[in-house]
Amino acid sequence: MAKFAKPAKQAAAVMKQLQGDVVKSVGSVRNYEQALTTIADYCQQMKLPSLRAMSIDDAITYLELRGQIVGQKTLDLERQALQKMLHHVSKALSENSRLPVIKSEQQQVLKSRAYSERQVKIVAGKQLTSNSLATQLSYAAGLRAHELLTLARCNERSADKRPANEHKWAGRDGVLYTVQGKGGLIRQVLLPTKLAEELEQHRRSQPVTVRDREVNYLSRYNIAGGQRWSNSFSAASKRALGWSRGAHGLRHSYAQQRMYELQMQGLVRTVALETVSQEMGHFRPEITETYLR
């Protein structure tokens, strides 16, 4: 097996090809090289062959995962560095193509705040059926906008193996489904039985491919999701409440409600936080911590 070169050495080799004709500024060369060193380190951890060998899907997965822990400025820099490498070094990305712009989740949680159950009902009441159901599902299960497009029964798609403690969904009843979360990872989510029954009424006869933010998803249910639903939620919130905290605020609602429920059951805060983190598809409890403001 070939030895994996050190991340810094890989990044320097890529920048050697980019420096001059593609990247002229000394400052940009330095910034891109630092970004590519971080990305090469990720490749090593994920046992990818090398930085240069990253595919477009590998790059998007990296950016989605990275968006959970860094701000938008850092994420955009790393996207630009990856894009230049894919364009000019590996040639994996055609000249007229671009990597999708991934929104930093850290940025989202700093801007948005939780909605109360009553507020969610009022907002959902101002939406058409497809958008209204999506709003209720997001609130009930802490779903991201794009995850609504990926709902599937557990017998159709297995969840990826991730750490899970015995307290997941403690105190709640419902039906387990799976969604495709950040980085393409599949996790289980629990939907209240009534909402699951309503969801099944919108099941497509055949799955269809739905494109959202330049990414394709296999959709099994004819409900709203992604950017269109997010825009609908914000508009409905402004109509109903006079303001909007964004659809991502529903994940704040889920995190805060579940923390309250689990601590009322006697779980210490650290265990409750770990449990909610697993339910929401985060990689570290400290990411979930930001939703509790």
6: left (phi over 0), alpha (psi -120 to 50) or beta: beta
The domain boundary residue, chosen from 55, 77, 102: 102
Question: CB burial class (10 A; 0-12, 13-18, 19+) of residue 90?
Answer: middle
Domain count, the chain: 2
Q: Domain for residue 151, yes or no?
A: yes
Q: Domain for residue 85, yes or no?
A: yes
If asked whether residues 41 and 168 sit together in one domain, one would say: no
If asked whether residues 160 and 59 sit together in one domain, one would say: no
If asked whether residues 216 and 116 sit together in one domain, one would say: yes
Q: Domain for residue 1, yes or no?
A: no
In the numeric block, the tokens 């909605």 are attached to 115
If asked whether residues 91 and 117 sit together in one domain, one would say: no
CATH of the domain at 287: 1.10.443.10
If asked whether residues 157 and 190 sit together in one domain, one would say: yes
Q: Domain for residue 2, yes or no?
A: no
Question: In this predicted structure, what is the pLDDT of residue 13?
Answer: 93
Q: What is the pTM of this model?
A: 0.71
Question: In this predicted structure, what is the pLDDT of residue 104?
Answer: 82
Q: Domain for residue 276, yes or no?
A: yes
If asked whether residues 113 and 191 sit together in one domain, one would say: yes
If asked whether residues 61 and 119 sit together in one domain, one would say: no
Helix pair angle (7-18, 26-45), 10° resolution:
140
Question: In this predicted structure, what is the pLDDT of residue 110?
Answer: 55
**Polymer length in residues for the chain:** 293
Mean pLDDT by 10 residues, the chain (293 residues): 75 91 86 93 87 91 81 92 94 89 70 84 94 97 96 94 89 96 88 97 96 90 95 95 93 92 91 92 77 76
If asked whether residues 64 and 140 sit together in one domain, one would say: no
Question: In this predicted structure, what is the pLDDT of residue 163?
Answer: 80
If asked whether residues 89 and 156 sit together in one domain, one would say: no
Question: In this predicted structure, what is the pLDDT of residue 132?
Answer: 97
What six digits make up the tokens of 48? Answer: 């990818």
The domain boundary residue, chosen from 55, 74, 102: 102
If asked whether residues 199 and 258 sit together in one domain, one would say: yes
- Bridge pairing between strands 203-212 and 215-221: antiparallel
Q: Specify the 3-state DSSP secondary structure of 103.
A: coil
If asked whether residues 98 and 28 sit together in one domain, one would say: yes
175: amino acid identity, one letter: V
Q: Is the dihedral of CA 275, 277, 283, 286 positive or negative?
A: negative
In contact, 208 and 219? CB cutoff 8 Å: yes
The domain boundary residue, chosen from 72, 102, 132: 102
**Domain housing 38:** 7-102
If asked whether residues 233 and 197 sit together in one domain, one would say: yes
CATH of the domain at 44: 1.10.150
Q: Domain for residue 31, yes or no?
A: yes
Question: In this predicted structure, what is the pLDDT of residue 14?
Answer: 92
Q: Domain for residue 11, yes or no?
A: yes
